[in-house]
Amino acid sequence: MISVVVLISGSGSNLLSLLKKSENPLYPAKIVAVGSDLDAPGLEHAELYEVDTFVVRPELFSSKEDWAKTLLANVQHHQPDLVVLAGFMKILPANFVSALKGKLINIHPSLLPDFKGAHAVRDALAAGVTKTGVTIHYVDEGVDTGEIIVQTEVDIEPGDTESILHERIKSVEHELLGSTIEQLAYKQKPVLR
């Protein structure tokens, strides 16, 4: 069984899907805490499942590094084997990333290296591509540049809006994130160094 801290900034549908999966005693990962940079609506899911939460707001710190140091202390307090960025929308500075190297993963709604950044779904639609997808990758000091663990394609259908396409991507994300964490837990991959 591995311990997981999840960081979110939004609705937390990926978090909710993981919380549901981890209710099954055979699922090899337990969510020990959920953190955010703001009062994210998704924190309610953690509260419902009686999982610890913490919020560390960047605007209360004089530098991004100081913010990240406090965020890291909150994460490390829970001694996680794995830290999952599931819709965490702040870029994490090097002091955070290097401290968690090999155990920090991110889920991103495109086939990286295409459509990095905060508007991947909108950017894919604007580019007129017929396929996009989901990427789960280790986090490095760049933005959406870390080693790719797994990718799944999602077709873009005629008439897709950003929200319709994003919902379809999220349902793929929920399954892919759950199965990837399961595999990382069983395989004792570098993530558990």
Neighbouring CB atoms inside 10 A of 119's CB total 14
Q: Is 108 a catalytic residue?
A: yes
Neighbouring CB atoms inside 10 A of 19's CB total 18
CA angle in degrees (0–180, nearest 5) for 146-169-110? 30
Interface pick for ligand GAR out of 4, 5, 8, 181 (rule CB under 6 A): 8
Considering only residues 129 through 188, tell me which ones interact with ligand GAR, judged by CB under 6 A.
Answer: 169-170, 173
Beta strands in the chain (DSSP E): 2-8, 29-36, 52-55, 82-85, 104-108, 131-138, 148-155
- Is position 118 an interface residue for ligand GAR (rule: CB under 6 A)? yes
Neighbouring CB atoms inside 10 A of 61's CB total 15
- Is position 45 an interface residue for ligand GAR (rule: CB under 6 A)? no
Give the residue at shortest CB distance from ligand GAR.
87
Q: Which of these is catalytic: 45, 78, 108, 137?
A: 108
Q: What are phi and psi of 3, to 5 degrees?
A: -100, 135
Q: Which stretch binds ligand GAR (CB under 6 A): 61-69, 74-82, 105-113, 124-132?
A: 105-113
Q: Which stretch binds ligand GAR (CB under 6 A): 12-20, 27-35, 63-71, 124-132?
A: 12-20
Q: Which stretch binds ligand GAR (CB under 6 A): 8-16, 52-60, 69-77, 145-153?
A: 8-16
Q: Which residues are marked as active site?
A: 108
